[in-house]
Each structure stands twice: as C-alpha cells, then as structure tokens.
Amino acid sequence: MAMAWASEFKEYGIASNALWPKTTIDTAAVRNLLGGEALAKISRKPQILADAAYYILRKNPKDYTGNCLIDEEALRLEGIIDLDHYAVTNGIKLYPDLFLDE
C-alpha cells in the first residue's frame, strides 16, 4: 500500500513510507493479549518507533517516499547504532517481532 500511495501522491509532494518494528514492542496488546509481563520484559519501548518515524518524517517528501523500513534500519540510516536504551530490560535478548522472518 505504501508504494502505491507513494506513486499516486508523489506529484503533490506527499510521501508514503511504511515502518515496522524489528522486535516486539511493550504495548497494551503485548501485555494483555500476547505474552503478559514476560513478553513485555523482552521487548523494546515504543519510543524506538517514535524516533524512527521522526527521522522518516523530517525527510523531503518529494525525495523520500515509497520505502518500507524496519525501525532499526531507519535509525541506522541516521547513524544511530546504539539501540540499548530502547530495551525494556537492559542486557537481555529481545524477542523478534511476530510478523518478521528472521
């Protein structure tokens, strides 16, 4: 969908990009429906997606559209490689997102 919209709206200077997390995110859905506190502890904070979206949204929409990005990739493109502070629990192996292939 992002790529189709990117093509359709590019002439108007409106960008369409997609963003997805590399790991599970500590949300109400994770805590209440999927895995409870145990899954939340091996997830990342929602702030990682907010930061990744910020860097995507500040790009020129005429030049940067039609991209499908993983949060880590979006941050890496900005030179941000230390993602440890996004972990709910420091020093623990994070759980990969349920909809991504390893």
- pLDDT of 19-43, one tens digit each? 999 999 999 999 888 878 999 999 9
pLDDT at 72: 97
**Cα-trace Rg, the chain:** 15
Residue 101 lies in a domain: no
For residue 39, how many other CB atoms are within 10 A of its CB? 17
Does some domain include residue 62? yes
Residue 69 in domain: yes
Residue 33: predicted pLDDT: 85
| Residue 81: both structure tokens together | 């490689």
Domain, as residue range, for 55: 2-86
Domain-embedded: residue 94: no
Of 8 and 78, the structure prediction assigns the larger pLDDT to: 78
Counted domains in the chain: 1
Position 35 scores a pLDDT of 78
Question: Is 14 inside any structural domain?
Answer: yes
- Span 51-96, pLDDT tens digits: 999 999 999 999 999 999 999 999 999 999 999 999 999 999 999 9
